[in-house]
Structure 1
């Protein structure tokens, strides 16, 4: 093999490893923050009193709430390998760790804004087509990087995961409505926050302690704890 071909291979490998570095990976568990409001994507065993009657999904300003952890999983049709970097335009599912339901949407009307309802659905991660979301990157990167804001587009309806700012009363006083909205705007930009990030096997290991994470005891040598913002 001549020196030119060797250089081309090395350059390609460098670009690939650089693109993968700090990518969100399959199996990682994190909090998801709305960039407009700073609220965390949240769910709990409280059902909507209208619409689908399924488990509600809200936004909470409480950074310490354990009900704001979500695990990224692959498409229902083609699951991803643990630690695999998530490419832009990939179809994923978000699994709510506490209640073991998937982030879901459908053509019911949301209770406050009259947008499209977002709920948590399924049992032990088994749901349906309404659990599928496309990762829409806002940069020219090939992979979903932890530092980048993204949008989640609901595959079945084409609408975007959105925080309108409408606030609930009892029994979830002060929490904000999460819905799906037809158009991309600043209220449907999201970024990952503190959690457990699974490193690709080819990446060097590193870790910092997330003092507020209740998932610390589940860590392995391949997990990365990020700090709360």
Structure 2
């Protein structure tokens, strides 16, 4: 078993899943993979099971009965990881918006440079590291990160980033059962919980490329959760220990 696990949540990612798995396992650094699939009707989990015969000790599958949100998928993945002796646990999308070649940079930030959390950041160098997004979406995402930073006071440029490496002790310290957000705001909440506990957070510049296959899971309810939930999250933190 390797010291690093990449968690990939999936729902209808049959067009991407085989390629992303093989790309991760082709890296010079050895990683294990846990696919958390929400019972995709397109056969994503069946493809993973097929690939497990090729990558027996590296590829794992956690099959959930229903689609209950990105946050709950990661929480289930984190709990699975903590039942195994991994020291570094990654979040990563299945659609190649996160480049597998950047995994080693996030790993080194934690394993060598002393970070407790390393973030693959689109915005630490401005907005030049986003490819194939329309300007309107870039501005929405960048503005959301600025908004979150203003409300929470976290010194993180890309607060909504979903390409992250956690040291094991971070996930052991945060009460995962108390994470409230289920959509993309989950990414904000995890960073905020870690920030409040004074973990060392480092941003690593990466190039984010929009998916070319499959469909985005973004929705209006997810955006609303992030906008209004952040205020409530910050308010609650003022009255908690």
TM bucket normalised to smaller: under 0.3
User: How does the TM-score come out when normalised to structure 2?
Assistant: 0.24
The TM-score normalised by the length of structure 1 is 0.25
Which structure shows the higher strand fraction? 1
Question: Rg bigger for which structure?
Answer: 1
